[in-house]
Amino acid sequence: MTTLQTPRLTLSPNTPADRDDFIALERDPQVMRFLNGGYPVDQADSDPNAPFLMPRGDDPYVWTARRTTTNAFVGWFCLWPDNPATAELGYRLRSADWG
């Protein structure tokens, strides 16, 4: 996967070093509101069959989003192929970075 960069964000392939940031997103009720009704999810309690992606840092098609200037974690984006012609877009952003 390629690293993508804009003046504001750098999207790079996710790594195990991103895992704690991903888990912090799942623990934020505001972030989880539209996924499971707002229930924080702990890693030990996460459902491997959840109807939404919960990346762990070694996932294909997932990019970690960080601020280009500070490297601060913003969230993640995913473009998951459904078939050769279409893909599903997924993302999760820290509530502090909404708007």
pLDDT tens, residue by residue, 35-94: 888 887 766 555 666 656 778 888 889 999 999 999 999 999 999 898 999 999 999 999
pLDDT at 36: 84
> What does the pLDDT read at residue 41?
76
Amino acid letter, residue 14 = N
Among residues 34, 44, 13, the alpha carbon closest in space to that of 95 is found at 34
pLDDT at position 52: 65
Distance CA 27, CA 7 (A): 29
Distance, in Å, from the CA atom of 22 to the CA atom of 74, rounded to the nearest integer, reads 10
> For residue 61, what pLDDT is reported?
92
Residue 49 has φ and ψ, to the nearest 5°, of -105, 20
Closest CA to 6 of 87, 75, 73, 65: 65
